[in-house]
């Protein structure tokens, strides 16, 4: 995506689930589309942070698939020393 193309900031989180599978977290999403609020599969970038220690757990880029009628592909961004590489 071109620099500066994100149009919407969306926050989601969970602190009521079993932490043996995933720590309590906040998901910060920078989305390309201002429509369809609340849907996690909109093109953009997701930053998943632990609510326990604020560490960055995961970065995912959501990319639209051409000609797939709104389908997207999730691409994991490699982390190095807790930062996107």
Per-residue pLDDT of the chain (85 residues; tens, 9 = 90+): 455 556 788 899 999 888 898 899 999 998 876 555 445 567 889 999 999 999 999 999 988 888 767 788 899 999 888 777 7
In a domain, 75, yes or no: yes
In a domain, 50, yes or no: yes
Report d(CA 41, CA 47) in Å as an integer: 14
In a domain, 41, yes or no: yes
In a domain, 74, yes or no: yes
Number of domains in the chain: 1
Predicted pLDDT at 1: 46
Predicted pLDDT at 31: 84
In a domain, 3, yes or no: no
6 to each of 47, 71, 82, how far by Cα in Å? 14, 18, 23
In a domain, 1, yes or no: no
Predicted pLDDT at 38: 46
Report d(CA 72, CA 75) in Å as an integer: 10
- Model confidence, pTM: 0.75
Whether the CB-CB separation of 14 and 23 falls below 8 Å is answered with no
Provide the domain limits for residue 78: 8-84
Report d(CA 13, CA 5) in Å as an integer: 24
């Amino acid at each position: 995506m071109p620099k500066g193309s994100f149009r919407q900031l969306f926050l989601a989180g969970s602190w009521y689930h079993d932490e043996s599978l995933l720590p309590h977290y906040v998901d910060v999403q920078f989305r390309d589309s201002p429509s369809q609020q609340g849907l996690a599969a909109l093109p953009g970038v997701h930053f998943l942070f632990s609510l326990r220690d604020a560490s960055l757990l995961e970065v995912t880029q959501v990319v639209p698939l051409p000609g797939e009628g709104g389908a997207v592909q999730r691409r994991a961004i490699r982390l190095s020393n807790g930062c996107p590489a």
